[in-house]
Structure 1
Amino acid sequence: MKKPIGEHISVNENSPKYDDNVVKLSGVKNEPFKTSEEAEGVCSVVIVSYKTGEILMDCIRSVLEQNRLHQLILVDNGNSKHTIQLLNEIADNEPKFEIITGHGNVGFSKGCNLGVRRARGEYILLLNPDSILHSNTLDPAIRAFQTHPSTSALTVRMENSDGTEQRGARRNLMTPWTCCVEQFRLDRFAPNHPHFQRLNLNETRPLTEITPVQCISGAFMLIPKKVYLELGGMDEDYFLHVEDIDFCMRIEKMGGSILYLPTVSVTHKRSTSDIYPGIIEWHKARSFCKYFGKHFTKQYPNWALRVLSLAIYLRLLLRLPTITFSWLIGKFWQR
Structure 2
Amino acid sequence: MTTLATTAIIVSYRTGPRLHECLYALAYDPAISALLIVDNGNPDIEVAWLRTFAGKLDHVTLIEPGRNLGFGAGVNLAAKQAPDGDLLIINPDAVLKRGSVEAMREAAAGRAQPWIIGGRIFDERGKELRGPRRKTLTLFRAMTRFIGWNTWTLENTPAPDGPIPMPVVSGALMLMSKAGFDQLGGFDEDYFLHVEDVDICRRATEAGGAVIYCPHAGALHYGSTSEAPSATVARHKADSLVHYFRKFASSPFERALVALLAPVLKAATIARARK
Q: Same fold (TM over 0.5)?
A: yes
Query: 1:203 deviation in Å?
Result: 0.7
Aligned counterpart, 2:236:
283
- Superposition CA RMSD, Å: 1.9
From 311, 314, 326, the equivalent of 2:264 is: 311
- Structure-2 change in CA distance of 1:239 and 1:99 (3 Å): same
Counterpart Cα distance in 1 of 2:161 and 2:198: 24
Query: 1:212 deviation in Å?
Result: 0.7
Contact kept? 1:154, 1:260, Cα under 8 Å: yes
- Structure-2 change in CA distance of 1:316 and 1:269 (3 Å): same
Aligned counterpart, 2:12:
49
From 41, 51, 56, the equivalent of 1:88 is: 51
- Percent of aligned pairs with the same amino acid: 29
- The count of residues paired between Structure 1 and Structure 2 equals 274
Q: Which amino acid aligns with 1:210?
A: P
Contact kept? 2:237, 2:269, Cα under 8 Å: no
Contact kept? 2:249, 2:255, Cα under 8 Å: no
Contact kept? 1:44, 1:72, Cα under 8 Å: yes
Counterpart Cα distance in 1 of 2:209 and 2:54: 36
Aligned counterpart, 2:105:
142
TM-score, length of structure 2 as denominator length: 0.93
**Residues 62-211 of structure 1 correspond to what in structure 2 (within 5 A)?**
62-146=25-109, 148=111, 152-184=115-147, 198-211=151-164
Aligned to 1:69, what secondary structure does the other structure show? coil
Query: 1:93 deviation in Å?
Result: 1.4
Query: 1:66 deviation in Å?
Result: 1.2
Contact kept? 2:194, 2:240, Cα under 8 Å: yes
Q: Which has the higher contact order (CA 8 A, sep 6+)?
A: 2
Contact kept? 1:71, 1:121, Cα under 8 Å: no
Counterpart Cα distance in 2 of 1:139 and 1:145: 10
Counterpart Cα distance in 1 of 2:259 and 2:48: 47
Counterpart Cα distance in 2 of 1:177 and 1:305: 11
Contact kept? 1:40, 1:121, Cα under 8 Å: no
Q: Which amino acid aligns with 1:207?
A: P
Aligned counterpart, 1:236:
189
Contact kept? 1:240, 1:287, Cα under 8 Å: yes
Residue segments in structure 2 that go unaligned for 5+ positions in a row: none
Q: Which amino acid aligns with 1:164?
A: K
Aligned counterpart, 1:253:
206
Residue segments in structure 1 that go unaligned for 5+ positions in a row: 1-38, 188-197, 324-335
Q: Deviations over 1:261-308 (max 9, x none)?
A: 112221111111111100000010001001100001427433311222
Counterpart Cα distance in 1 of 2:209 and 2:235: 31
Aligned to 1:126, what secondary structure does the other structure show? strand
Aligned to 2:220, what secondary structure does the other structure show? strand
Query: 1:256 deviation in Å?
Result: 1.3
Counterpart Cα distance in 2 of 1:220 and 1:318: 27
- Structure-2 change in CA distance of 1:40 and 1:119 (3 Å): farther
Q: Higher mean Cα deviation, 308-317 or 223-232?
A: 308-317
Q: Which amino acid aligns with 2:18?
A: I
Query: 1:55 deviation in Å?
Result: 0.7
Query: 1:120 deviation in Å?
Result: 0.8
**Residues 9-24 of structure 1 correspond to what in structure 2 (within 5 A)?**
none
Counterpart Cα distance in 1 of 2:4 and 2:269: 44
Aligned to 2:193, what secondary structure does the other structure show? coil
Counterpart Cα distance in 2 of 1:104 and 1:182: 34
Counterpart Cα distance in 2 of 1:239 and 1:208: 34
Query: 1:144 deviation in Å?
Result: 2.1
- Structure-2 change in CA distance of 1:139 and 1:317 (3 Å): closer
Counterpart Cα distance in 2 of 1:306 and 1:286: 13
